[in-house]
Each structure stands twice: as C-alpha cells, then as structure tokens.
Amino acid sequence: MEKATFAGGCFWCMVSPFEELPGIHGIISGYMGGSVENPTYEQVLTGETGHLEVVQITYDADIFPYEKLLELYWPQIDPTDSIGQGNDRKSQYRAVILYHTEEQRELAEKSKAELNQSGRFLQPVVTAIEAASIFYPAEEYHQNFHRKNPDYYKESRIYSGRDEVIKKFWSE
C-alpha cells in the first residue's frame, strides 16, 4: 500500500471523487504542514496555523497507479488559483499536491507541465507540489462528512463555488 496526499479546498469535497474505486483502500480527511502539533479544526480554520486541509489516500499502485490519482485530482480544482478554491479563500484551502516519494514528485511535475501545455487555461497552472510532512487526521465528524451530513454538505459545496469551477474548466 502507498499513500497519496492532496489539498484542494475544503477536504469534505475531496473525498468522494476518490472513494469506491478499485485499488483505493482508504481516504482520511486531515491536516498537513503548519506549525501546530495535533491541530484542531478550529485552529486550522483561522488560517493562522499554516496547515492545509488535505485528504490522504491509501492505495494499491498495482491496481490504481499514482498517475490515475493525478488524473482524478486535477478536475476537482482550479489549478490556476494559488490562494484558495472557489469561495474558500484562506491559506488552508490552497491546492497542493503533497508527494511522499521522488517518483510521486516527478509524476506530479510531469502532469502539471502537461496540463500547463494543454491550452485548457488562460492563466498558468500554479498548483504547488510540495513534500508531504506530518499528517494529522481530522476529527471524526469530518470523516466521510458527505455521507454523515448530506444536506449540510450539499449546501457547503454550493456555497464554496466548487461546482462552478469544475463546470467552467472541466465540463468537457
């Protein structure tokens, strides 16, 4: 099993695209980066801890290779936005690929370069690619939030503007 970690706005919205796929064995919402050990959601929400809201995926690379994870990741975000996603504008909502191995870094850089050269965007792809650091699982009520609180999740997703971003850049 390998780990992949992605930040792309609110972590609630980053779970469902990756779940229930062959080779995906787990998805945990959490926090990465930052200066506070074992941060709470309330601390991260201030935007002052330096943490990102992330999803960490456990996967079998023989069944679902990292390149396929990247192919699923990009259409979940606006890769031209360096300060957040949609209406989520604090630093914890930045889009970042957090690599665990040199091979993941190389594949992420290649994927980003291909996306930049695709002509899909009028602005450059600025999604950061950074080394993964200590992962802190989010509180239990954040895990599988979209299933536990479907109505609130739908409202939050609408407010976030994520679906408009996806439609604008990825409707093809």
* Cα 4 to Cα 42, 50, 59, distances in angstroms: 25, 20, 8
Closest C-alpha to 59, from 27, 32, 30: 27
Contact 69, 55 (CB under 8 A): no
| Among 2, 6, 9, 10, the one annotated catalytic | 10
What distance in Å separates the CA atoms of residue 65 and residue 45, rounded to the nearest whole number? 32
Q: Is 10 among the residues known to form the active site?
A: yes
Give catalytic residue positions.
Answer: 10
